[in-house]
Structure 1
Amino acid sequence: MTLNAKFEVLSFDEAEAALRAPEDAGRPRNLVVFAGTELALAERAAALLKDAKAQIDRAAAAARFKGKSGSSLEILAPVGVPASRLLVVGVGAAGSDDSDKPAKFEDFLSLGGQTAAKLGQGASAVVLFDLPDAPAEPAAAAAQFALGGWLRAYKFDQYKTKKKDDADKDGPIEVQIGVSDAESAKALVAEASHTAEAVVLARTLVNEPANVLSPAEFARRASELMKLGVEVEILDEKAMSELGMRALLGVGQGSENESRLVVLRWNGGAEGAAPIAFVGKGVVFDTGGISIKPAAGMEDMKGDMGGAAAVTGALYAVAARKAKANVVGILGLVENMPDGKAQRPGDIVKSMSGQTIEVINTDAEGRLVLADALTYVIEKHKPAAIVDLATLTGAILVALGQEYGGLFSNNDELAERLTKAGTAT
């Protein structure tokens, strides 16, 4: 996957040497530093900006910038600074100034995203990753900063006709980030890049229009994970029919695009050890079928394959990082369309498990896809645990809003581990 930002890790000395190099007239240099509460700067940043301190103080007073996290100060053509633009980003406590023990800044992922947004597309920058209150693990913090920058720089615009006025903004953000321990940071930033690539892959799959991303095309893109060492098996409708997957096949029978089941296997753990399984709902477009949805907002139903996209991204991350684990990913890929061949409310289908299902509402298709996908992974791979990812109902937004995903489990230990992982990342 191609990321829309480039991060080069340097030592502090190398970063300062880069600042002394001649500036590209066609691509003005940005210098990014971080300030704590009341404009507190770390030693390196303070030394570098000593000749510009009066100008910074004056600009900060005019902008009422005090270094609080989430805020920033921009100075163009700063005096005595080897850059055309100085960006001072706040990392101070966001609470009241009279707090006895303000919380230490730790959200480096958001910091990277905020910085990338301020720099803008196509910018060139040197970031002096020297914070007034140094993080406990500077290399890990720098990696999170880079990850935030990569995620913020993502865009999906390949189908847009570009305006000529935008030509000068083309290209990735290019960042040289100076850190105290360059060797450790390089390794962790490289690892973070794999996570960014995995997220970008999943986002792009979700954003693709349904006339491009059919089940067969989704399966083809998933098969590209073979380049990373993932074993890929694609079951067509004939193979699924022979296995008795009538629940999944029933959902897709009204579409001109044939359904697929994709099996992704990463064998990085002990030989013979039971894998962890991820199962993703992949309805590439959901009209609701005969129980058709309202027209308003139906265009968003191209994203009803978000679960399968997340599973594909997860397997990418696992493989790219050479994880020492056995992992299986299952993608149930269908298109739910109304047609003379579509299944009807009142139809009865038999799932792979042998159970019969009466279809009351054809817009409740996700559980039919997942029923066969879950049975398949249980019977064929006997996993130690299964994580099922799906966009099953918009009603979850009524309960939890935009900040949280719903989690339901029959195992409290697994649920707790997933919750902790989500909180940590």
Structure 2
Amino acid sequence: MDISITGASIPGRGAVAVGVAKDGKLSPAAKALDDKTDGAIRQVIRSSRFNGASGQTAMIQAPRGTRLDRILLLGIGDPKSLTQIDLEAIGGRAYSQLAGSGSKQVKVVIDAENMGAKTRLSRGQVQAHIALGAKLASYRFDKYHTKLKDEDKPSLESVAIGARAAASARDAFEKLSAVGDGVFLTRDLVSEPPNILFPASLADRCQELTALGVKVEVLGEAQMKKLGMGALLGVGQGSERESRLVVMQWNGATKKEKPVAFIGKGVTFDTGGISLKPAAGMEDMKWDMGGSAAVIGTMAALAGRQAKVNAVGVVGLVENMPDGNAQRPGDVVTSMSGQTIEVLNTDAEGRLVLCDALWYTQDRFKPEFMINLATLTGAIIIALGDEYAGMFSNNDKLSERLSAAGEAVGEKLWRFPLHKNYDKKLKSEIADMRNIGNARGAGSITAAQFLQRFVNDVPWAHLDIAGVTWSGASKPTSPKGGTGFGVRVLDELVRRHYEG
């Protein structure tokens, strides 16, 4: 999809989308089109429930007095109060409403006065976020469709965003677009089928980031065994596909600056192992590598926009399969930290992958902080559904910054408690700890307590993204499927607080 930012003039052909504020107040572009069409826009407002409220849309087909295909009216609510999330939703609706309309190009001219004034957005930023919304909404994963009919494909080929401050809007969009590319990469990886995306092939996809200037190292099983990563290796021992640990480094700051670190769970397919999952819905477990995909996409975003930060991304890549060599309930494994773990449920495997990856990261890189992302527990879906990701942290400052960043970009986080009394639930009779709690309740919390044992005193946050990695319904900037959750909140955190 070609997304561009041009001048604010109204085109003579194709489709055009204009804004209408609350109570039916026409923007300058909408008023000009209303005059040109002999009052067609005001007629729509008078004769329908469309009144410019946020999220509303209305279409005028083949408007009289013009050579346009159609005019799309976009309700924008109160222009002064528009946030970047609101603006991106406007761009997303502009794309989705016209994608299959038959029009090949659309120009979006949203030029209401004082847009974003209360949220302190410049004119250029306003238009750049509208452009980003259109880009995010245009995502499709149809590479395996061989017989798509024309009517099932988007007709829209280009979206132009009309801007009075076009130069500043282009500059702002260039960086936002790089973040969008990171989101797209994450969505792609989560959407791939598990016979195509497995530890070695996902490691190969990480290697492609070298084109952006990211340094990539891939550790095989022999190297991990030498490092003592018995927890991670135990998860993958039932698969014919060898496990991998991938280390990605983006060095955008001076050498003296400590890196920030992101760690991702990459279980490319999770059967549950010997503790086998039910058959119904098991196909969804292709996206149990969503945490690693978010880390990979974040590294691509930071490199793509040339972020002035040193960042490390570490992903543990395994396949959890139940063959004759698979890990058994009751096994005891030794992690890289030297701590022993009694494996009572082989479907609680993500924490085993992450504990070695976390220890490796803090031991080698001595980072400013560590944030791990994982589709870790079904319990977090019961608690939060698909609106929030669960957040656990040993550091109030880091968690507060993460929460604020998530609110700003629409990737919301809800903090859960950590407490020594929960830690007691991990006590094992024969090892340093067990990999699941000794009671039914607090499953997400005990998983986080387990991970905390491997971070030492490094500021750390664990994001349980099980409920937000995949969506069964389309949203304004996210079609049904992989959401790309995690990339934007991590990028925003870095942009706000950790760039030189």
TM-score by length of 2: 0.77
Q: What CA distance in whole angstroms lies between the structure 2 residues aligned with 1:157 and 1:163?
A: 9
Q: What CA distance in whole angstroms lies between the structure 2 residues aligned with 1:397 and 1:131?
A: 40
Q: What CA distance in whole angstroms lies between the structure 2 residues aligned with 1:84 and 1:248?
A: 57
Q: What CA distance in whole angstroms lies between the structure 2 residues aligned with 1:164 and 1:311?
A: 35
Q: What CA distance in whole angstroms lies between the structure 1 residues aligned with 2:58 and 2:157?
A: 19
| 1:267 matched to 2:248 | no
Q: What CA distance in whole angstroms lies between the structure 1 residues aligned with 2:292 and 2:98?
A: 33
Contact map agreement 1:41 1:132 (CA 8 A) in 2: no
1:105 paired residue among 82, 98, 122 = 82
| 1:7 matched to 2:3 | yes
1:58 paired residue among 43, 49, 52 = 43
Q: What CA distance in whole angstroms lies between the structure 2 residues aligned with 1:172 and 1:327?
A: 37
1:38 paired residue among 9, 23, 27 = 23
Contact map agreement 2:264 2:293 (CA 8 A) in 1: yes
Q: What CA distance in whole angstroms lies between the structure 1 residues aligned with 2:196 and 2:88?
A: 32
1:379 paired residue among 353, 359, 363 = 363
**Structure 2 equivalent of residue 304 of structure 1:** 288
**Structure 1 equivalent of residue 116 of structure 2:** 135
Q: What CA distance in whole angstroms lies between the structure 1 residues aligned with 2:318 and 2:328?
A: 16
> In the TM superposition, what is the alpha-carbon distance from 1:166 to its structure 2 partner?
3.0
Equivalent position SS for 2:39 = helix
**Structure 1 equivalent of residue 381 of structure 2:** 397
Q: What CA distance in whole angstroms lies between the structure 2 residues aligned with 1:150 and 1:234?
A: 32
Q: What CA distance in whole angstroms lies between the structure 2 residues aligned with 1:237 and 1:405?
A: 32
Q: What CA distance in whole angstroms lies between the structure 1 residues aligned with 2:347 and 2:178?
A: 36
> In the TM superposition, what is the alpha-carbon distance from 1:82 to its structure 2 partner?
4.1
Q: Which runs of 5+ in 1 are unaligned?
A: 24-28, 94-101
Equivalent position SS for 2:393 = coil
Q: What CA distance in whole angstroms lies between the structure 2 residues aligned with 1:234 and 1:71?
A: 49
| 1:204 matched to 2:200 | no
> In the TM superposition, what is the alpha-carbon distance from 1:164 to its structure 2 partner?
3.1
Please give the per-residue CA displacement for 1:78-115, whole angstroms capped at 9, x wherever unaligned. 1223411011111125xxxxxxxx97333101111111
> In the TM superposition, what is the alpha-carbon distance from 1:256 to its structure 2 partner?
0.7
> In the TM superposition, what is the alpha-carbon distance from 1:189 to its structure 2 partner?
1.3
Q: What CA distance in whole angstroms lies between the structure 1 residues aligned with 2:116 and 2:36?
A: 27
Contact map agreement 2:182 2:298 (CA 8 A) in 1: yes
Equivalent position SS for 2:125 = helix
1:116 paired residue among 77, 95, 105 = 95
Pick closer, same or farther for the CA change 1:123–1:284 going to 2, 3 Å: same
> In the TM superposition, what is the alpha-carbon distance from 1:378 to its structure 2 partner?
1.1
| 1:237 matched to 2:221 | yes
Contact map agreement 2:267 2:350 (CA 8 A) in 1: yes
Pick closer, same or farther for the CA change 1:62–1:145 going to 2, 3 Å: same
Pick closer, same or farther for the CA change 1:103–1:31 going to 2, 3 Å: closer
Please give the per-residue CA displacement for 1:107-143, whole angstroms capped at 9, x wherever unaligned. 1011111111111147311111212553332211111
2:74 paired residue among 89, 102, 116 = 89
Equivalent position SS for 1:91 = strand
Equivalent position SS for 1:118 = helix
Q: What CA distance in whole angstroms lies between the structure 2 residues aligned with 1:133 and 1:48?
A: 20
How do 1:274-289 residues align onto structure 2 when only pairs under 5 Å count? 274-289=258-273
2:134 paired residue among 149, 157, 163 = 149
Q: What CA distance in whole angstroms lies between the structure 1 residues aligned with 2:227 and 2:303?
A: 29
Q: Which moved more, 1:251-260 or 1:48-57?
A: 48-57
| 1:80 matched to 2:65 | yes
**Structure 2 equivalent of residue 388 of structure 1:** 372
> In the TM superposition, what is the alpha-carbon distance from 1:48 to its structure 2 partner?
4.1
Q: What CA distance in whole angstroms lies between the structure 2 residues aligned with 1:35 and 1:361?
A: 56
Pick closer, same or farther for the CA change 1:268–1:172 going to 2, 3 Å: farther
Contact map agreement 1:206 1:309 (CA 8 A) in 2: yes
Q: What CA distance in whole angstroms lies between the structure 2 residues aligned with 1:146 and 1:162?
A: 31
Question: May I ask how many residue pairs the two structures share in their alignment?
Answer: 401
**Structure 2 equivalent of residue 319 of structure 1:** 303
Identity of aligned residues (%): 50
How do 1:343-354 residues align onto structure 2 when only pairs under 5 Å count? 343-354=327-338
Q: What CA distance in whole angstroms lies between the structure 2 residues aligned with 1:57 and 1:129?
A: 17
CA RMSD of aligned residues (A): 1.6
Contact map agreement 2:248 2:299 (CA 8 A) in 1: yes
Contact map agreement 2:18 2:27 (CA 8 A) in 1: no
Q: What CA distance in whole angstroms lies between the structure 1 residues aligned with 2:67 and 2:151?
A: 27
> In the TM superposition, what is the alpha-carbon distance from 1:10 to its structure 2 partner?
1.1
**Structure 1 equivalent of residue 178 of structure 2:** 194
